[in-house]
Structure 1
Amino acid sequence: MYFSTIPLIITSSKKQSTNSKIIENANKARIQSALKDLSQNDQQLVLITENVDQEIEQLKADFTVIQAAGGLAYTPNEEVLLIFRKGKWDLPKGKLDDGEELEACAVREVEEETGIQNVALESFIQRTYHTYQEHGQDILKETFWYYMKAEKQDLHPQTDEDIEECRWVPKSFIINYFDNMQPSVKDVLEAYLAHL
């Protein structure tokens, strides 16, 4: 889970790196206070708990939760589909429509945002969380990510969704984009690099 670019690790493990600030519970006020108190050496917040799922659910109660789904689409030659939106490299994703299944949402968003067709849904990768403010509300976006296979084809960015560019990137070049993407998106790409 990310607060801006600062990770919040919710874990049952008592072993933590020295670059962590330990917090006792995951309510929004305590996290915001801890974020302000982070020292130069602290790179993440860590909540150690016996029940990770329960802590996540309690934390979600402090936010307006938006569910989204997205995809890591790649070709048989291991080229990954990236989009450039709002000054950052990203993966296609979007909000779940009423009554829509997560998998259908992921495929729809990849096709709409990039213009590709005939995307083959493969398997679930992971779920990410990040927070932001919108119209004075604290939002927690819960995104479900899926692997997808596609043939390499011409790309057409969905400009009305602020997507400026779509690009097929060879697997070996993906890390060159890490410095200009949100940490949660980087996590998904790192899972892909470790998976294949």
Structure 2
Amino acid sequence: MMAAALLNGSRCSSGFRCQNFAKEPTTSLPKTRPFPMPLKAFSSKGSSTSTSAKLKSSLMPSLFGGGSVIKKKEINVLSPDITAPIFVPEFLDPFDDEYDGVIINPENLPSSANAFVSALRASLSNWKLKGKKGVWLKILSKQADLVPIAIQEGFSYHHAEPGYVMLTYWIPVEPCMLPGSPSHQIGVGGFVMNDKREVLVVKEKCPRSCSGMWKIPTGYINKSEDLFSGAVREVKEETGVDTIFLEMVAFRHVHLVAFEKSDLLFVCMLKPLSFEITIYEKEIQAAKWMPLEEFVKQPFYLEDDMSRKVIDICIKAYDDRFNGFIAHELASKLDGKLSCLYHNDY
């Protein structure tokens, strides 16, 4: 694209300084009109001189890149060959994962919608050429306006946590091999029995089928919490009783429960270290030490095969007639971390 430049002493895009004609004043051409302009623009009003005469010797070879210097009364215009800048879209900031995919850095996402969609499209095209597969896009809460844009570009929801939503994109034209969103909730229950063969039980404040029933303390484990630690914590929170983990005796696996997720409940044997009860009033209606015979004779346990079997296993484990799983902390070369392996001693 050709653009007009004024000989006013300013630097041209070619890197040279344009000549300033001191004897002849300059005038600016409108910025909105590209050069060359119609020849009649250079004719003086009322002049009888012909156009060819006026322009005689006015076109001179330019020393600034092949343009022409139009030398005319009171007008000196330089038109160098200026190449229009090539627009190179910015790419998103990624790092590679272990499966030929990319994870986009959420901290460096463009703040404007136009910049984001431009960078996203350019990046996807680039990753496709490189043979990348899965793309993980984490959008923080403060960037929530970018979510519908990513969805329109073909991304899918994967999961959400407080503070962000995770989206995914599968590049190859083949079935998606990315893992699905978290599918399970994990809960723990603590069976605690003292030397008097009394079971620590609670009555929850809930409208469920267990309402009004005495049961062992249960709850969901926290993020990055071990199973045995979760069982000890739940008993402490609901009853105020301190315990230590002995063994895991059973677990139940059920599907399509809360939010259509699967559910795992791990039942742990715990030994009491204290006996005074202080309930968590927001969740627990009451708690007490209940004689074992009274506990197992509740109508619910007499009618529910699953619960009755769990209690039967716990009693056998307490009487050393059943060996459950003990937590063994071991290191793994897969991730270089210590983790718990649950198994019975042999």
| TM-score, normalisation: structure 2 | 0.34
Question: Per-residue displacement from partner, 1:17-64 (whole Å, max 9, x unpaired)?
Answer: xxxxxxxxxxxxxxxxxxxxxxxxxxxxxxxxxxxxxxxxxxxx9x94
1:177 and 2:277 aligned: no
CA distance in 1, matches of 2:286, 2:256: 24
Q: Which amino acid aligns with 2:266?
A: F
Question: Per-residue displacement from partner, 1:128-148 (whole Å, max 9, x unpaired)?
Answer: 1345644xx223220111111
- In structure 2, do the counterparts of structure 1 residues 167 and 124 end up closer, same or farther at CA, with 3 Å as the change threshold? same
Higher helix share: 1
Q: Which amino acid aligns with 2:251?
A: R
Cα displacement (A) at 1:187: 3.0
Mapped contact 1:90–1:185 kept (Cα < 8 A): no
Q: Which amino acid aligns with 1:109?
A: E
1:150 and 2:150 aligned: no
Question: Per-residue displacement from partner, 1:106-157 (whole Å, max 9, x unpaired)?
Answer: 100011111112x1211111001345644xx223220111111115622122
CA distance in 2, matches of 1:115, 1:144: 21
Who is 1:69 aligned against?
A: 188
Q: Secondary structure at the match of 1:129?
A: strand
Which stretch has the larger CA shift, 144-153 or 95-104? 144-153
Mapped contact 1:178–1:186 kept (Cα < 8 A): no
1:101 and 2:223 aligned: no
Who is 1:139 aligned against?
A: 261
CA distance in 2, matches of 1:111, 1:193: 21
Q: Secondary structure at the match of 2:298?
A: helix
Instruction: Tell me the C-alpha RMSD between the 2 structures.
Output: 2.7
- In structure 2, do the counterparts of structure 1 residues 174 and 79 end up closer, same or farther at CA, with 3 Å as the change threshold? same
Mapped contact 1:75–1:151 kept (Cα < 8 A): no
CA distance in 2, matches of 1:155, 1:182: 28
Dislocated runs of 4+, deviation >6 Å: none
CA distance in 2, matches of 1:131, 1:182: 18
CA distance in 1, matches of 2:274, 2:189: 18
Who is 2:245 aligned against?
A: 121
- In structure 2, do the counterparts of structure 1 residues 133 and 167 end up closer, same or farther at CA, with 3 Å as the change threshold? same
1:89 and 2:214 aligned: yes
Higher strand share: 1
CA distance in 2, matches of 1:160, 1:186: 28
CA distance in 1, matches of 2:263, 2:240: 24
Question: Per-residue displacement from partner, 1:70-126 (whole Å, max 9, x unpaired)?
Answer: 210111222111111231322112111111111100100011111112x12111110
Q: Which amino acid aligns with 1:126?
A: A
Q: Secondary structure at the match of 1:76?
A: coil
Mapped contact 2:189–2:268 kept (Cα < 8 A): yes
Q: Which amino acid aligns with 1:112?
A: E
Mapped contact 1:70–1:107 kept (Cα < 8 A): no
Mapped contact 1:73–1:149 kept (Cα < 8 A): yes
Cα displacement (A) at 1:173: 2.1
Who is 2:83 aligned against?
A: none
Higher relative contact order (CA 8 A, sep 6+): 1
Unmatched 5+ stretches in structure 1: 1-60
Mapped contact 2:249–2:269 kept (Cα < 8 A): yes
| TM-score, normalisation: structure 1 | 0.58
Q: Which amino acid aligns with 1:154?
A: E
Identical pairs, percent: 20
Q: Which amino acid aligns with 1:74?
A: M
Q: Which amino acid aligns with 1:128?
A: R
